[in-house]
Amino acid sequence: MSGDQATGKVLGRAMRVAPALRRGLRLTLLMAMAGQAITVVTPIVIQQLIDDEILAPSGIDMSGVLTKAGLALLALAIGVVVGRAAVLRLIRSSSTGLSDLRTMTFRHLLRRSVLYVEADRRGDLVSRVTSDVTTLQEFMEWGGVGMVIAGSQVLLALVVMFFYEWRLALVAVVGVIGYLLLMRWFQRVLARNYDSVRTEVGRSLGILSESISAIPVVRAYGIEKGTTTKVADALEKRFWIEFRTARFGNILFSSAEVFAGALTAAIVVGGIVIGTTQGMSAGTLVAFLFLTNLLIEPLQIVVETLEFAQSAASGLRRILGVLDTEVEMSEPADPDHLRPGGLSALFHEVGFAYSTGGEVLRDVTVDIPVGARVAVVGETGSGKTTFAKLLVRLLDPSRGTVSIGGVNARRIPLQELRDRVAFVPQEGFLFDDTVGANVRYGRPEASDAEIWTAFHELGLGDWVEGLPQGLDTRVGERGGNLSSGERQLVALVRAWIGSPDLLVLDEATSAVDPVLDVALRQAMERLTEGRTSVTIAHRLATAEGSDEVLVFADGRLVERGRHRDLLARGGVYADLYTDWAAGTKTV
């Protein structure tokens, strides 16, 4: 039962994190209990009618019958009103508390480091704020409410039993405990079976999904037959394991019906024995049979909900786990501010290693003066993207310091830094909104005219005018209505419109066609006069036009200088350039 204790503990923590969950909880539970009193009304009325009217020596007195029925109906009405109010309270507090918890979790996740959010666990992150919370919600609103109601019903039925005849009530208590233990045992046995069902379901779905995703390949290679056979085999295997497990579960759980019958029989036998020896009225024993009936269904609900509670608790544990981890990048305790104007950057003996130990950048010392146009080159995995992320403080160095405009980057308030330093990543991510709204992510207060100007400055006026609804054109989910090159254009304008003093581009135009790419770079060179720009370059043409080239290899800054000088030196850069040039020369 230690699992259940841990479950209780984790629920307690959730209530502290999201106080709306426990607001007025005690009163709610009391009210729920009172509302449940309606279920024991019938057995009591039956006992009263049998003993005091039907079996009364004086015969049936209809006015007495009506009075009792009237009182019973009144009790029912009160129970309905109070019970309903209790459930409404429970629903309101759990919905509010869980929505708060969800938003809190989301905010926390989004503040985590890019390394954490970027790693291949986006699906996981989404489940933290969707399915985990939904499971909790369903548990609270169906399972939780059901459990409170069912629990109160069992409790009340037992209380009434003890009130009538404690010895017979003990028989019922033994039955209830036995039943609970039996069901728990069944469930544990079944849980093991369900694990293998889940595995097989997952496997068959994996094969089916793969086959559907691969339809173009299947068609291109004419392997329809093999594909359908593979899927059919997996589905057949899944059928048998699902069916066998369900059959086993049915046999286990229906045996509970036999148990319930045995309990009823035991009450009859026990009642007759106690009645003949200790004295008990016929009406009381009949009432006991009705009360016994009230025990079984709720016990089933309680047991099912316990299982539900554990899956809800494991979701909750994952959510609390998120909230327990520190955000890697916090606001500075002693902030320092940037001076207006162009920004320089300085790396002093900077190193960066993943928490898993892989060192991706070592001992980098470099200064980038105000207004410089710097190109960063290197092979995949050389550390150039990490360099860019350190430069814009999307990451903090493991060793050494990064300074922007002469101020240690860790001491600049994050919002101030983001306003002055722009970073354009490769993927050109767009939100499912209009072109204009996407650009406004870079500067919320920008007017339409300013956005137009920004497009025109970069020589993209024709492009935006060619869109069906201009700035109001919707880009679709993840910008799917635009080509990948077009998405990069919007992302570039989005950074551009904030007039950053330091602009860092990470292969930001990799999907733009060559003619446009060259035109864009020429426009930016013209306009970045006085501003500092750092470009991670995939096309070495960028490096040719820069003031300085930084060459990375194996996590180190291995060469730096102007294009011509580096080429003449015949080192890493010269090799990279030769390779690239071989690919672009037309004759």
580 is an interface residue for other proteins by CB under 8 A = yes
Residue 305: what residue type?
Answer: T
Toward other proteins, which CB reaches closer, 6 or 567?
Answer: 567
Q: What is the C-alpha separation between 509 and 511, in angstroms, rounded?
A: 6
The answer to whether the beta carbons of residues 338 and 412 sit under 8 Å apart is: yes
When binding is defined by CB under 8 A, the residue of 513, 530, 569, 570 that contacts other proteins is: 513
427 is an interface residue for other proteins by CB under 8 A = yes
514 is an interface residue for other proteins by CB under 8 A = yes
467 is an interface residue for other proteins by CB under 8 A = no
Binding mask 197-226 for other proteins (x = CB under 8 A): --------xxxxxxxxxxxxxxxxxxxxxx
Binding mask 348-367 for other proteins (x = CB under 8 A): --------------------
Q: Is 193 exposed, middle or buried (0-12, 13-18, 19+ CB in 10 A)?
A: middle
When binding is defined by CB under 8 A, the residue of 118, 195, 331, 349 that contacts other proteins is: 118
The answer to whether the beta carbons of residues 18 and 98 sit under 8 Å apart is: yes
Q: What is the dihedral of CA 96, 98, 103, 107, to 10 degrees?
A: 140
> Contacts with other proteins in 442-461 (CB under 8 A)?
442, 444
CA 447 to chain centroid: 35
Q: Return the exposure string of 405-419: e unless at least 16 CB atoms fall within 10 Å of the residue's CB, then b.
A: bebebbebeeeebbe
> Contacts with other proteins in 535-554 (CB under 8 A)?
539, 541, 544-545
Q: What is the C-alpha separation between 8 and 460, in angstroms, rounded?
A: 60
When binding is defined by CB under 8 A, the residue of 132, 200, 517, 548 that contacts other proteins is: 517
Q: What are phi and psi of 387, to 5 degrees?
A: -55, -45
* CB 25, min distance to other proteins, A: 17
95 is an interface residue for other proteins by CB under 8 A = yes
* CB 179, min distance to other proteins, A: 13
When binding is defined by CB under 8 A, the residue of 268, 320, 370, 558 that contacts other proteins is: 268
320 is an interface residue for other proteins by CB under 8 A = no
Element (H, E) at 187: helix 166-213
When binding is defined by CB under 8 A, the residue of 27, 30, 73, 189 that contacts other proteins is: 73
Q: What is the C-alpha separation between 236 and 268, in angstroms, rounded?
A: 49
Tokens standing for residue 297: 């269904």
134 is an interface residue for other proteins by CB under 8 A = yes
Residues binding other proteins: number (CB under 8 A): 163
109 is an interface residue for other proteins by CB under 8 A = yes
102 is an interface residue for other proteins by CB under 8 A = yes
Toward other proteins, which CB reaches closer, 1 or 229?
Answer: 229
Toward other proteins, which CB reaches closer, 173 or 511?
Answer: 511
573 is an interface residue for other proteins by CB under 8 A = no
* CB 138, min distance to other proteins, A: 10
Alpha helices by DSSP H, listed for 112-165, are 114-118, 122-129, 131-138, 145-164
Q: Regarding beta strands 548-553 and 373-378, do their DSSP bridges make them parallel or antiparallel, or are they unpaired?
A: parallel
